[in-house]
Amino acid sequence: MLSIIKSMSLKGLEGYIVNVQVDVSSGLPEWEIVGLPDTSIKESKERVRTAIKNSGYGLFSKRILVNLAPADIRKEGSYLDLPIAIGVLFSMENIKISKKIENTVFIGELSLDGRINKINGILPICIEAKRLGVKEIIIPKGNIEEVELINGIKILGAETLNEIIQYLKGKTTLQEMKSTWEEVNRSKNKYSIDFSDVKGQENVKRALEIVAAGGHNIVLIGSPGARKDNASTKAKYNTSRLKF
């Protein structure tokens, strides 16, 4: 039986949809992953196999083929574990999905006990998912706080593979991320002093903004009267009000 589960991958900071196509058929026991996967994805079959077993679902001797489409772009990272596991379970008819998931993206790395590990890069993934018109994305619960400023997309957090299985069966709900975008947007800090009265020195002002945001050090060198003191004083003023 063939199943297609949606996931996401990044090429730099640009995201694209990955269709995880899983086919399970009779034959000699074999598990193959194609579609330009890197080493971490090739190793996922052992993580997925054990996570499914420890979640209470049997994996019988079958021929399993996983294709990551589009196949001409290299896929990296372990966050395709979750969609691969969902695809395998669905193709083996271990679960019957009652919810419509055509526009749902699954992201997560699996532990051997079925837990879903926190991953890196979840913020650009969710931003790109929203840009591509995805309506719902399921991510590790440990990543929820990282994406609280995103609005316009339903983000659900899960701790285990079993939680997601029960959710897809319609037997439970997952924790939905509540966006804090409007609250933060309303409470933006407004300062009575900024760089607007420093004429010119665009490169210096840009450097000072980076220093203030990152908490770095900087030395300004220039002739007297170049407005160094004015610019550096305002950078220090703004830095003292930033929260790191």
The answer on 220 and 111 residing in a single domain is no
Please tell me the number of Cα atoms within 13 Å of 153 on its side-chain side.
25
The answer on 172 and 202 residing in a single domain is no
For residue 215, tell me if it sits in a domain. yes
Name the 3-class secondary structure at 150.
coil
The answer on 114 and 52 residing in a single domain is yes
Give me the pLDDT at residue 26, please: 84
Name the 3-class secondary structure at 102.
coil
Cα distances from 67 to residues 53, 79, 199, in angstroms, run: 22, 15, 57
Give me the pLDDT at residue 243, please: 37
Domain limits for position 6 = 2-183
The answer on 169 and 206 residing in a single domain is no
For residue 71, tell me if it sits in a domain. yes
Each residue's pLDDT tens digit, 155-171:
999 999 999 999 998 88
The answer on 6 and 104 residing in a single domain is yes
Show the low-confidence residues of the chain (pLDDT under 70): 181-192, 225-244
DSSP label at 37?
A: B
User: Within the chain, where are the H helices?
Assistant: 39-42, 44-54, 81-91, 122-131, 161-168, 181-186, 202-214, 228-239
CATH code of the domain in which 51 resides: 3.30.230.10
| Last residue within a domain, chosen from 183, 207, 224 | 183
The answer on 151 and 199 residing in a single domain is no
Tokens 């669905």 correspond to: 90
For residue 188, tell me if it sits in a domain. no
Q: At 19, give phi and psi (nearest 5°).
A: -90, 110
The answer on 112 and 29 residing in a single domain is yes
| Last residue within a domain, chosen from 160, 183, 206 | 183
Q: Give the chain's domain count.
A: 2
pTM of the model: 0.75
Give me the pLDDT at residue 244, please: 30
Is 61 in contact with 4 (CB distance < 8 Å)?
A: no
The answer on 18 and 89 residing in a single domain is yes
Give me the pLDDT at residue 225, please: 66
DSSP label at 220?
A: -
The answer on 213 and 113 residing in a single domain is no
The answer on 131 and 28 residing in a single domain is yes
Read off the tokens for 243. 């929260």
The answer on 124 and 214 residing in a single domain is no
For residue 142, tell me if it sits in a domain. yes
For residue 244, tell me if it sits in a domain. no
For residue 119, tell me if it sits in a domain. yes
